[in-house]
Chain A
């Protein structure tokens, strides 16, 4: 369990243990456009950077979000 998983779980209202990289709008009904941006906002606020418009649209899963953080060295 990571701090990132906890953050995702809190926004998507999931048990932290249920967070996995395949979760996205296609697989999780609660992942709406609003939740998408709430998730982006929470990540930006926690890790201290802003996503570009293209990055926001490119994210389609928890795995994409995790990869975006990895590319910035924010998570391992």
Chain B
């Protein structure tokens, strides 16, 4: 069966039911991803991972992202049994679950992993990480410009303004140190496009009213992640560091158990 625009099927199984997963998987990122949770999902459903909208997204970035992800799912007519979110993706996942419930579909399970509503610090950290990869290649002027952009972004609470500043600073990295590191135009363009897409994604999530979202969530936290959801349906804290959370056996077990319980409840309700 085909997968609608805005989603990509992870893993091979062809199932009637679908689990949606929202995350932003940047090139070469060290953190685990929802692809690591395929074994927990594939017995019951297909896993569809979110593909971000093309850049630049229109004004109202949160609405643009939601439109990008909801339209195809609703048109597909597929039964969404669960919506998963990782970090900032939890903001979108919560809204998706609420939207699907409101559209008359069966109420999906909502599972959030280390949920976070991004701030300007979150955005600035992305540029800082990129800058660290080319630190030895930075000229003094480039290093000063990078520091200035990071400080300006962290000093404001306006995520959209911070994103604009950070995108400009990243483009300077692409045209300077990334060029000197030997990356060809194709891959410098890919990095610039990917960073722009990440900033759009984080800006959208940061502009949403996550605290006001109303959909009972099961929340899984890594060892030190701060609590970010009021009154979760269930909450599990695992002794695992954030970057490894989604690839851990315990996390797979928790998700498998939640999906099994959801399936049993659904079967019971239908009987």
Q: Which residues of A contact B (CB under 8 A)?
A: 25-26, 29, 31-38, 40-41, 53-54, 56-57
Contact = CB atoms under 8 A, between A and B. Distances in A.
Nearest to A26: B30
Given A25-B30, A40-B187, A34 B181 contact: yes
Contacts of B28: 25, 31-37
Interface string B179-222: 00111100100110000000000000000000000000000000
Interface in B1-39: 8, 25-32
A37 B191 contact: yes
A56 B30 contact: no
Given A38-B183, A57-B27, A33 B243 contact: no
B242 to A, nearest CB: 12
B202 to A, nearest CB: 16
B244 interface: yes
A26, A29, A38 — most chain B CB neighbours (10 Å): A26
A47 to B, nearest CB: 16
Nearest to A33: B28
A53 B190 contact: yes
A34 B190 contact: no
B190 A56 contact: yes
Contacts of A26: 30-32, 243-244, 247
Contacts of B132: 32
19 contacts: A25-B29, A26-B243, A26-B247, A31-B28, A33-B27, A33-B28, A33-B133, A33-B191, A34-B134, A34-B178, A34-B181, A36-B27, A37-B187, A37-B190, A37-B191, A38-B183, A53-B190, A56-B27, A57-B25
Nearest to B25: A57
A46 B62 CA distance: 42
Given A25-B30, A33-B29, A37-B27, 4 more contacts: A25-B29, A26-B243, A31-B30, A33-B26
B130 interface: yes
Nearest to B247: A26
Contacts, number: 52
Nearest to B177: A34
A48 to B, nearest CB: 15
A26 B29 CA distance: 8
A45 B236 CA distance: 47
A37 to B, nearest CB: 5
Nearest to B10: A58
B133 A32 contact: yes
Contacts of B134: 34
A1 to B, nearest CB: 24
Nearest to B181: A34
A53 B265 CA distance: 40
Interface string B155-179: 0000000000000000000000010
A58 B132 CA distance: 23
A71 to B, nearest CB: 15
Given A26-B30, A56-B190, A34 B183 contact: yes
Contacts of B30: 25-26, 29, 31
Contact of A33 (B8, B130, B244, B247): B130
